[in-house]
Amino acid sequence: MRFRPYTLMFVPQDSKRIFKIKIPFYALISGLVVIGVIGFILMYIVFDYLYIMSEFQSMDEMKARNRKLGKQLYSYKMRIDEIENTMERLKALTTKLKIISNLGDTEDRDKNLYSEADVIEGIDDFSMSSNAEIDGEFRNVQNKLKDIEYKMAYQEEELNKFSEYLEEQSALLAATPSIIPVRGWITSYFGNRIDPFTHKITRHEGIDISTRVGTTIIAPADGVVTFTGNKPGYGLMLTIDHGYGITTAYGHNSRFFVAQGTKVKRGMPISSVGNSGRSTGPHLHYEVRVNGICVDPRKFILDNPWE
């Protein structure tokens, strides 16, 4: 098959002369191929340029995103550190209170669930970090949060135990006769004394507080009135059971404000001072017994005016 050459003619507008250029077939084909290759290269360069520009834009967005994530991570880390410091202070306070209250110490289960290498130290250059690195840092934060949850659960358990102990101690304190039932002067102390009637040495099982007839006597602690009536030697007598093996007795009253079975609170009026029974003058005979054994009432009084 024979390929004929092609002729290009150029006809100027203001001239009758015609220019002709003969182009061999193979030269035409080669030229078209070269032009096509050049066009392809130019298109590739243009598309590659556009792709590179879009990548730069994506990198800028990724840098901005990573910087934002880095600041968030640092903020989380700072907040976690604050929470951990608060937890440590609570732990120290709980330990101190347990020692003061003689509860002793329990096994320390306060263990870290993360390694020290996982701690985020300040704001690193997160702008060049990969998604995998950022995800890794977030996993570290999650591990620390799990560790804090574990510590908080343990701390809550310890505080609940201590709360139960305090409630029990609160009830015991409320049942302890810690205030003076009546203001006055002690005319006879607890222990051995010379009996004013027999003039022999006898054991005085309470204290005698001298004051005016009719002075109000108050309950020194919470409890239940177990007796109101006449008792030989004590005259009009009243007793209160405070629980925990503690009872109190009040002798030589002039009248009662409560009846047997009445629940009383600390500071509540229960009777008034009198001179009933075996007495040398108006006063209150006040006894405290622990498990049936008489003890000096002054040992229980917190605002003791006689010391």
Residues 83 and 162 both lie in one domain: yes
- The percentage of residues in the chain with a pLDDT greater than 70, rounded to a whole number, is 80
The lowest-confidence range among 105-109, 170-174, 193-197, 296-300 is 105-109
Query: What pLDDT does 1 receive?
Result: 52
Task: Mark residue 267 as left, alpha or beta (left: phi above 0; alpha: psi -120 to 50; beta: remaining).
Answer: left
Mean pLDDT of 66-71: 74
Bigger pLDDT: 141 or 238?
238
Tell me: do 144 and 198 sit in the same domain.
Answer: no
Q: What are φ and ψ of residue 151, in 5° steps?
A: -65, -40
Task: Please identify, among 145, 174, 203, the residue that sits at the C-terminal boundary of a domain.
Answer: 174
Residues 46 and 18 in one domain: yes
CB 209 within 8 A of CB 182: yes
Q: What is the pLDDT of residue 122?
A: 43
Region of poorest pLDDT, from 34-43, 127-136, 141-150, 293-302: 127-136
| Confidence category of residue 209, pLDDT binned at 50, 70, 90 | very high
Asked if 80 and 148 touch (Cβ cutoff 8 Å), the reply is yes
Q: Please say which residue of 152, 174, 196 terminates a domain.
A: 174
Where is the domain boundary, 151, 174, 197? 174
CA distance 224 to 260: 8
305 in a structural domain: no
**What is the mean pLDDT of the segment spanning 239-252?**
95
pLDDT band at 99 (very low <50, low <70, confident <90, very high): low
139 and 164 part of one domain: yes
Q: What is the pLDDT of residue 276?
A: 93
The answer to whether residues 225 and 130 belong to one domain is no
The residues pairing with 225 across neighbouring beta strands, listed in sequence order, are 240
Closest CA to 284 of 231, 235, 222: 235
Query: Does 91 score more than 90 pLDDT?
Result: no
221 and 211 in contact (C-beta within 8 Å)?
no
Using the structure block, give the residue that is written with the tokens 């135990």.
161
- Cα distances from 83 to residues 88, 90, 150, in angstroms, run 9, 10, 13
Token pair listed for 25 = 């077939």
Asked whether residue 33 is assigned to any structural domain, the reply reads yes
98 and 76 in a common domain = yes
Residue 307 domain-assigned (yes or no): no
SS (H, E, C) 23-83: ECHHHHHHHHHHHHHHHHHHHHHHHHHHHHHHHHHHHHHHHHHHHHHHHHHHHHHHHHHHH
How many domains in the chain? 3
On whether both 98 and 54 belong to a single domain, the answer is: no
What is the extent of the structural domain holding 154?
A: 72-174
Q: Which of 248, 260, 92 is nearest to 180 (CA)?
A: 248
Measured distance CA(131)–CA(62) in Å, rounded: 9
Residue 180 is assigned to a structural domain of this protein = no
Asked if residue 262 is part of any domain, the answer here is: yes
Q: What's residue 182's pLDDT? A: 95
Please check whether residue 306 lies inside any domain of the structure.
Answer: no
pLDDT of residue 114 exceeding 50, the answer is no
The percentage of the chain sitting over the pLDDT mark of 90, rounded to a whole number, equals 32
Instruction: Select the highest-mean-pLDDT range: 24-28, 87-91, 275-279.
Output: 275-279
Residues 208, 154 share a domain: no
Domain for residue 24, yes or no?
yes
- Reading the block at residue 285, the tokens are 């005979």
Distances (CA, A) of 233 to 82, 127, 210, 252: 68, 93, 17, 9
If you average pLDDT over every residue of the chain, what do you get?
A: 79
Check residue 124 and give its pLDDT.
46
Per-residue pLDDT at 134 = 63
Structure tokens at 86: 């608060």
Q: What is the reported pTM?
A: 0.51
Structural domain includes residue 76? yes
- Residue 38 pLDDT exceeds 80: yes
Q: How confident is the model at residue 132 (pLDDT cuts 50, 70, 90)?
A: low
How much is the average pLDDT of 185-194? Answer: 88
Mean pLDDT of 204-211: 93
Confidence class for position 63, pLDDT limits 50, 70, 90: confident
Q: Which of 12-26, 117-131, 181-195, 220-234 has the lowest mean pLDDT?
A: 117-131
CATH number at residue 207: 2.70.70.10
Question: Which pLDDT does position 261 carry in this prediction?
Answer: 96
